[in-house]
Structure 1
Amino acid sequence: MKRLIALAAVLSTLIFLFACSQQPTNKAEAPKEDINVRLELQKMSTLEKIVQRGTLRVGLEAGYMPFEMTDKKGNVVGFDIDMVTEMAKAMGVKLEIVNTAWDGIIPGLLSDKYDLIASGMTVNQERNLKVNFAIPYIVVGQTALISKEYADEITSWKQLNDAKYVITSKLGTTGEQAAKRLFPKAQYKSFEMEDQAMLETLNGKAAATVYDLPMTSIFYAQRGKDAGMKLLKDPFTYEPLGWAINKGDPDFLNWLNNFLTQIKNDGRYDRIYDKWFGSDAWYAEIQ
């Protein structure tokens, strides 16, 4: 009798489980649909997502003149801003700027807070382990700002490796490293601030200042040009800046590279470059 009761209990349980398995429920189907949607989104290129969303989200830190900075009206402006504005126009979408702290800028990209980073970011191997870079859109290596006294004499940065020249730069910078490494015969003077180093050259107390292209270009436009100084604007160290995107997205990378090639050959790039590096008219509007 006990065996019959136990057998009946087992049969009842099997019948119940079979009946449950045959009844479709929306709860079981919904997650599968959600998963499929998520998988499809993951397969989509960032470029497709931007177009569907209608917005290009760009991450940056507004604090690197003249690439990205805040004007007196509170707007983020600069070379990078004009470049990504043209990028959004080419995509036919709106532009959204996401201002973020530098130490969190790559994590923000990886967590999908924005679609790319355009923030004066130097391309290097350490960062390239985490993100992909489009081809460099500008090289901002070291340049030489020449004093009026030597403007006619010095026509190439290679001439600076001479004991008769005094060269200045800022303490603890790649400018100082380049000056010591490339011009060991020259007399070197270090300053706490880059403007002090350039003023030394402006006042004729040094033959040249070695420093980053953006800052030497700005100083030259503001004060050096009228004073008869010369700017050797072609960098002699290689410090390329590039747009960073998430890995595994060849379609987006291809589009960015082609976009840069196009604007560098149709006049748009030169117009933007001259606005921010060839003139200081924008400086009066900066905070």
Structure 2
Amino acid sequence: MKKNLLSGLVIIAMLIFSLQPVIAGESVLDEILAAGVIKVSTDANYAPQSFLNDKGELEGFDISVAKEIAKRLGVKAEFITPDWDLITAGKWGKRWDISVGSMTPTKERKNALLFTIPYYSSPAQFAVHSKNTTIKTVDDLADKVIGVASETTNERFLQQDLEIEDTKITYLAWKPKDGNMKTYPTDANHIEDLSLGDGARLDAVFTSRQTLAQSIKAGCGSGCPIKMLGDPMYYEPLSVALDKSRANSESLISKLNEIIDSMYADGTLVKLSMQFYETDLIPKR
């Protein structure tokens, strides 16, 4: 009995010893470093944050940030473009490792996702058709049809249930009436509908100021007769997101924060902001 017990203990000890490298390599960071690739989810139709250029390649502020993160990790960036609601829902099943898609770390999203420190901030802005002469202030939108991307902070703002830590939110004196808030898969879709004509499908849209500026500059493909309305409603911090359901992500969060800090320190984030937005959207640290 004692001999069998001793033999059993030796076998168990050998198994534990043999498993140590596997156990040590189970962190998400180690998995990414071992693969030599970090899989990044983003939006393929969200200029100037992320979009397909004339060569069919992803380009934009978020794309450049993701590539720089990969470079400083010593790996390659591989991009995946799932629907936004799939990204914000979490439980990614290792289909991608991180999301670099201008995501705000809301209280609701933190139930499913982990977030890094912000890498920039974004002003939320209304816009109307350029030929409109009756909508002069945001209060004039109270009974109008407004387009907004679904599952976004902008949609939550209009619904008046947006919560962002360390960000003061002052809501409008009104909420869109039933049926007056039309949701779209992405911002480019509602901007296109607004450009079709004043009141043709929409009276206004609500998105980021830089998205509107890029659309106006680029012409929405074939002319973009829209104009911004009033001042930004709020400024939101934007972070890299990770899947909360994926175990052992702590070391990756720490490493990403270290990398983002270094991009603040050496001016990389400001440089990219000026390149794609022609303005400095980087918070002071």
> Where on the TM-score scale, by shorter chain, does this alignment land: which range?
0.5 to 0.7
1:87 aligns with 2:69: yes
Aligned-pair Cα RMSD in Å: 4.9
SS at match of 2:91: helix
2:214 corresponds in structure 1 to 218
Query: What TM-score, normalized to structure 1?
Result: 0.60
Relative to structure 1, the CA distance from residue 19 to residue 90 in structure 2 (aligned partners, 3 Å threshold; closer, same or farther) is closer
Offset of residue 92 of structure 1? 3.0
Offset of residue 84 of structure 1? 1.0
1:58 aligns with 2:39: yes
Q: Which structure is higher in RCO with an 8 Å CA cutoff and minimum separation 6?
A: 2
Q: Quick one: distance in 1 between partners of 2:258 and 2:197?
A: 43
SS at match of 2:146: strand
Q: For each residue in 1:9-59, what CA deviation from the matched residue of structure 2 results, as whole angstroms up to 9, or x when unmatched?
A: xxxxxxxx55544557996555323432333234x5x445544x2724133
User: Gapped runs of 5+ residues in structure 1?
Assistant: 1-16, 280-287
Q: Quick one: distance in 2 between partners of 1:99 and 1:183?
A: 36
1:170 corresponds in structure 2 to 147
**What does 1:50-129 correspond to in 2, within 5 Å?**
50-51=32-33, 53=34, 55-66=36-47, 67-100=49-82, 102=84, 104-105=86-87, 106-108=90-92, 111-129=93-111
Query: What TM-score, normalized to structure 2?
Result: 0.60
2:17 corresponds in structure 1 to 33
Offset of residue 221 of structure 1? 1.4
Q: Quick one: distance in 1 between partners of 2:230 and 2:71?
A: 30
1:5 corresponds in structure 2 to none
SS at match of 2:64: helix
Q: Quick one: distance in 1 between partners of 2:235 and 2:213?
A: 17
Contact persistence 2:42–2:79 (CA under 8 A)? no
Q: Quick one: distance in 1 between partners of 2:36 and 2:96?
A: 10
Q: Quick one: distance in 1 between partners of 2:270 and 2:276?
A: 10
Q: Quick one: distance in 1 between partners of 2:85 and 2:181?
A: 28
Structure number with higher strand proportion: 2
**What does 1:11-26 correspond to in 2, within 5 Å?**
17-18=1-2, 20-21=4-5
Contact persistence 1:57–1:98 (CA under 8 A)? no
Q: Quick one: distance in 1 between partners of 2:243 and 2:94?
A: 9
Q: Quick one: distance in 2 between partners of 1:168 and 1:221?
A: 24
Relative to structure 1, the CA distance from residue 88 to residue 161 in structure 2 (aligned partners, 3 Å threshold; closer, same or farther) is same
1:137 aligns with 2:119: yes
Relative to structure 1, the CA distance from residue 232 to residue 26 in structure 2 (aligned partners, 3 Å threshold; closer, same or farther) is farther
Bigger radius of gyration:
1
Contact persistence 2:146–2:204 (CA under 8 A)? yes
2:253 corresponds in structure 1 to 253
Q: For each residue in 1:210-233, what CA deviation from the matched residue of structure 2 results, as whole angstroms up to 9, or x when unmatched?
A: 420154122221349x99986479
User: Gapped runs of 5+ residues in structure 2?
Assistant: 161-170, 184-189, 280-285
SS at match of 1:82: helix
Offset of residue 243 of structure 1? 1.0
Offset of residue 236 of structure 1? 1.6
1:182 aligns with 2:172: yes
Contact persistence 2:41–2:80 (CA under 8 A)? yes
Q: Quick one: distance in 2 between partners of 1:114 and 1:195?
A: 29
| Percent of matched pairs sharing the same residue | 19
- Give the total of aligned pairs: 248
Q: For each residue in 1:142-189, what CA deviation from the matched residue of structure 2 results, as whole angstroms up to 9, or x when unmatched?
A: 3134777999xx8xxxx54469x997632796469649962659xxx8
Relative to structure 1, the CA distance from residue 36 to residue 199 in structure 2 (aligned partners, 3 Å threshold; closer, same or farther) is same
